[in-house]
Amino acid sequence: MKRSSLVIIDYGMGNIASVLNAVEFISNEKCDITSSPEELKNYKGVILPGVGAFGKAMQNIKKAGLDKAIKEFIERDGFFLGICLGYQLLFEESEESPSVKGLGILKGKVVKFKDKNLKIPHIGWNNVTWEKDPPILKGISKGSFFYFVHSYYPVFKIPGSITLFTEYSNTKFASGLIYKKISAVQFHPEKSQKNGLILLKNFWRMCRDV
C-alpha cells in the first residue's frame, strides 16, 4: 500500500490500533503514526484520538512538544480530526482537571454530565443530529447512530461553526463540531461501523484531494 496523506498522533493515550485499522481499511493506504512534533508538517491531515483523563493527556502532549506542533499545524490550515478526548483537548479547560489548561485552540469549557439520574459514563449507541451538511458528513443521514464512551463534553459558542448534537436522557450536548478545517467528535467513528467508516473516509478524501 502507498503512504497515506494523513497521520495519527500517538501521545500514549487512545485507541491507536483501532483508528489505524479503520483508516487503512477505508483508504487502502499505509497510515503513519507519530509522536514527533516535527513530522506533522509532512502531512495534509492529522487525527488526534484519545481515551482517558484530560490532565494526563495534556501532560503527555506538552512533554512531547506536540501542543505547539498541533497549534501550528492548524494555523497552517491543515485538516484536523479530533476523536473523543481528542475533541475535548481542543478547548481551554475541563472540569475533569481544573488546574490544567487545554490546547486552547477553541474557546470553551469541557463539563461533566450534571443530571444525577444519568448513568455515567455515557456508553453505547446514540444518535447525532446537525443542521448544515459539511463534507465530512456526506453520505450520512441526520439522526444516525454512533458509539459513545464519555463522562464529559464541551460547552462552547463558536460563530461560524457547525455543531453536532446528541440527547442523553434530558441532556442535550454538543457531540461534535466542524469549524474551518477542524472536525472533532465526541463519539468513536472507528467503533461506529458503517457511519463511522463513512466519516473517516470523507476525512481521508478531504486530505487526499487537497
Instruction: Tell me the per-residue pLDDT of 119-151, one tens digit each, with 9 for 90 and over.
Output: 999 999 999 999 999 999 999 999 999 999 999
Assign residue 167 the CATH number of its domain.
3.40.50.880
- Strands 171-179 and 45-48, bridge-based pairing: unpaired
84 is catalytic: yes
Residue 5: what pLDDT?
A: 87
Give me the catalytic one of 84, 96, 150, 207: 84
Residue type, 50: G
pLDDT higher than threshold 90 for residue 1: no
Residue 4: what pLDDT?
A: 79
122 is catalytic: no
Span 153-203, pLDDT tens digits: 999 999 999 999 999 998 999 999 999 999 999 999 999 999 999 999 999
Give me the catalytic one of 31, 96, 190, 207: 190
Q: Which domain holds residue 39?
A: 3-208
Give me the catalytic one of 96, 150, 188, 207: 188
State the pTM of this model.
0.96
How many domains does one find in the chain? 1
What order do you get walking across the sheet with 79-83 strand by strand? 30-34, 3-9, 45-48, 79-83, 182-185, 171-179, 162-168
